[in-house]
Amino acid sequence: MVNLTAMSGFLLMGFSDERRLQILHALLFLVTYLLALTGNLLIITVITLDHRLHSPMYYFLKHLSLLDLCFISVTVPQSIANSLMGNSYISLVQCILQVFFFIALASSEVAILTVMSYDRYAAICQPLHYETTMDPSACRHAVIAVWIAGGLSGLMHAAINFSIPLCGKRVIHQFFCDVPQMLKLACSYESINEIALAAFTTSTAFICLISIVLSYIRIFSTVLRIPSAEGRTKVFSTCLPHLFVVTFFLSAAGFEFLRLPSDSSSTMDLIFSIFYTVIPPTLNPVIYSLRNDAMKAALRKMLSKEELPQRKMCLKAMFKL
């Protein structure tokens, strides 16, 4: 048994203490992690190599896949290692880094989804000004702003969260250092630090959500005026996957972060944490690939026997650089 009073880290009491269930959890997470890595790396590779996909929409999609790849790598490998070794301990430094990167990447993902919704709005509602509005320089600046905003958010959350005095046993009823679960260990829920943390998180997410909603209200009002059924289908095929990803990610994360704190652990905490930490990075490549004809055509072309040798040469050249 670990001495809870002497240790400086935390115990992650995730799914089960039974050894067989720990092995099962590790195998399921390993399969999911490999699927997420394969899918997101495939999207990044296809968009990078296929010149027909060098447009703002796919440029942002490539960065979304990169964020998903990093996002799932923050929590899942650590959880797999803990389950396989039968050790749920995580050091204080590891926990601080996990909170920083988790919040930074989650905030960046919300920001990139907001930028992607604006890109769809500009393409559908303002097609004549689209090339000037979303020129390569504007796209690069938008992505840089997304990563910087995420980094600042992660830094603020990590600094505030670990400045709050903790009372009682350092046991987190989650499979990673989850901020809402860590706040349950705070000596007082009425500290100014926690109020500032909750206000910052809520206001930022609310601004992004309002921006996305307004963009899609304008998009759908424009799409419904398109006389061609084929044109409406083409627009919906690019917008609906993004709308599904936004709704799924924000609803699950919002439920976990905005609900009232409770001293008791719940199975629902684990389920909703999986909904916004594991499932989105795994499903996003499938959603964007299956509903997008250009992506499917690029995937078939890249995997064809004629194109495969050329792609290998391009990849070798990229790695040499």
pLDDT 10s digits, 303-317: 775 555 555 565 555
Task: Select from 256, 281, 278 the least CA-distant residue to 205.
Answer: 256
Tokens found for residue 192: 């100014």
For residue 66, the model assigns a pLDDT of 95
Tell whether the model's pLDDT for residue 72 goes beyond 90.
yes
Q: Could you tell me the end-to-end alpha-carbon distance of the chain, in angstroms, rounded to an integer?
A: 50
Phi, psi of 15 (to 5 degrees): -100, -50
Q: Into which CATH architecture does domain 10-297 fall?
A: Up-down Bundle (1.20)
Using DSSP's 3-state secondary structure scheme, residue 10 falls into: strand
Question: Distance between CA atoms of 288 and 61, rounded to whole angstroms?
Answer: 9
Which residue has better confidence, 231 or 248? 248
Tell whether the model's pLDDT for residue 218 goes beyond 80.
yes
Q: How confident is the model at residue 115 (pLDDT cuts 50, 70, 90)?
A: very high
Q: How confident is the model at residue 137 (pLDDT cuts 50, 70, 90)?
A: very high
Tokens found for residue 236: 């919906």
What percentage of the chain has pLDDT greater than the value 90?
A: 23
Question: Distance between CA atoms of 72 and 102, rounded to whole angstroms?
Answer: 9
Tell whether the model's pLDDT for residue 56 goes beyond 80.
yes
- Between helix 229-258 and helix 279-290 the angle, nearest 10°, is 180
The lowest-confidence range among 17-31, 65-79, 107-121, 280-294 is 280-294
Which residue has better confidence, 207 or 37? 37
Q: How confident is the model at residue 35 (pLDDT cuts 50, 70, 90)?
A: very high
Q: Which amino acid is at 3?
A: N
Using DSSP's 3-state secondary structure scheme, residue 135 falls into: coil
Reported as a single tens digit per residue, the pLDDT across 289-306 is 766 777 777 777 777 755
The lowest-confidence range among 67-76, 78-87, 141-150, 242-251 is 242-251
CB distance 105 to 68 below 8 Å: no
- pTM confidence score: 0.84
Q: 241-260: buried (b, 16+ CB within 10 Å) or exposed (e) per residue?
A: bbbebbebbbebbbebbeee
Question: Distance between CA atoms of 242 and 120, rounded to whole angstroms?
Answer: 10
Query: Mean pLDDT, the chain, as a whole number?
Result: 80
Question: Distance between CA atoms of 98 and 101, rounded to whole angstroms?
Answer: 5
Query: Once rounded to an integer, what is the mean pLDDT over residues 139-167?
Result: 88
For residue 3, the model assigns a pLDDT of 45
Question: Distance between CA atoms of 56 and 118, rounded to whole angstroms?
Answer: 11
Q: 132-158: buried (b, 16+ CB within 10 Å) or exposed (e) per residue?
A: eebeeeebeebbeebbebbbebbebbb
CA triple 49-52-58, angle to 5 deg? 80
Question: Distance between CA atoms of 198 and 182, rounded to whole angstroms?
Answer: 13
Question: Distance between CA atoms of 59 and 78, rounded to whole angstroms?
Answer: 30
Q: Which amino acid is at 307?
A: E
Parse the chain into domains and list their residue ranges: 10-297
Class of residue 211 by CB neighbours under 10 A (exposed 0-12, middle 13-18, buried 19+): middle
Question: Distance between CA atoms of 23 and 29, rounded to whole angstroms?
Answer: 10
